[in-house]
Amino acid sequence: MSNIKSTGTDKQLASAIVKEIEDHQDKIVSFLQELISFETENPRLCDTEPGAEAKMQNYLADRLKLDGLETDIWEVYPKRPNLAATLKGSGGG
């Protein structure tokens, strides 16, 4: 059990998130269906080629760029790309 007390702001934020999800449920489900259609299995655990997840990462990078995020894809291991995205803030610093 948490000792953190919720505030009116917490409840307002939670309500706003739930409303957003309810208002866009079809779009969210469609997006998730797209994501799970990509092959992203770990090649060490199953019979798939390394790098199969790159297609999903490129797709995600393109989607994130459309929403104004900066993206970077790099390989730590050969054919095993990583994706990072940054959403620039508008506040002080």
For 42-53, how does the pLDDT look when each residue is reduced to its tens digit (9 = 90+)? 888 888 778 888
> How many CA within 13 A on the CB side of residue 55?
11
Distance, CA of 11 to chain centre:
24
| Confidence band of 1 (pLDDT split at 50, 70, 90) | very low
pLDDT of residue 90: 83
- Looking at residue 6, what is its pLDDT? 64
What percentage of the chain reaches a pLDDT higher than 90? 54
| Whole-angstrom distance, CA of residue 2 vs CA of residue 86 | 31
CA torsion sign, 61 to 62 to 67 to 69? positive
Q: Is the pTM of this model over 0.95?
A: no
The sign of the torsion formed by the CA atoms of 57, 63, 69, 70 equals positive
Which of 13-17, 28-32, 43-47, 84-88 has the weakest average pLDDT? Answer: 43-47
Given a cut of 50, whether residue 59 has pLDDT beyond it is yes
The token duo for 16 is: 């706003």
